[in-house]
Structure 1
């Protein structure tokens, strides 16, 4: 058991849209990522996904609306819901999701990550 310093973990990488695993609990993974630009439309058929904004502002586009998140806010995307994260400037996020969650759901794309690093 060790404490985790989020700022220190975020200093360990600079790339975007490539989450790192920083912890696990009860079948869930805690991930950190840096986001910039637009991601792809995708959904997770069997898993909810929680976005917690550590730094910056994130928009999550849905087919019928747009949600804007600021620092210290979070949003849970329900399973099966198409969504597309958008970061106009670099955003630091913490993600909570089941370990079984595929990065881009069932979609194969150049941004898809099959194996995530642990830091």
Structure 2
């Protein structure tokens, strides 16, 4: 028998001590629900084959694109289409839920960045 369990996002985020290091907290239909804390600027990158959804649970961050910036506040989400170069920047710590295909590498076309995480922990 399969039992469903709810996930308390704030409790999960309390177990994340670092920044730019996503953790898997759920999976469905070939997609993963990931949690990460953002602080400062990430690397410019794009994903050739994956769209990404960024949902702000706490705080806010700016998604920088080459032609504009979009401020994403608590309770809002933004979808970055595949192939679009982007860079998230958080002036203060932000707790962000990401929804993307399983196997999506956080640095996209920069697989050798110091921030690349090929294997993610589960929380």
Q: TM-score, normalised by structure 2?
A: 0.95
Take 1:25 and 1:77, find their aligned partners in 2: how far apart are those partners? 20
1:22-68, Cα deviation, whole Å (9 max, x unpaired): 00010000011001000000001000000000011110000100000
2:12 is equivalent to residue 6 of structure 1? no
Structure 1 residue 2: Cα displacement: 1.2
Secondary structure, aligned partner of 2:10: helix
Candidates 93, 101, 106, aligned match of 2:109? 106
Match of 1:66 in 2: 69
Distance in 2, matches of 1:20 and 1:94, equals 10
2: CA distance between counterparts of 1:99 and 1:48? 11
Dislocated runs of 4+, deviation >6 Å: none
Distance in structure 2 (CA, Å) of the matches to 1:113 and 1:102 = 7
Q: Which position in structure 1 is the counterpart of 2:33? A: 30
Q: How far does residue 100 in structure 1 lie from its aligned partner after superposition? A: 2.5
- Partner residue in 2 for 1:54: 57
Q: Where does the alignment leave 5 or more consecutive residues of structure 1 unmatched? A: none
The structure number with the bigger radius of gyration is: 2
Following the alignment from structure 1 to structure 2, what is the Cα–Cα distance between the partners of residues 14 and 87?
A: 16
* Contiguous gaps of at least 5 residues in structure 2: none
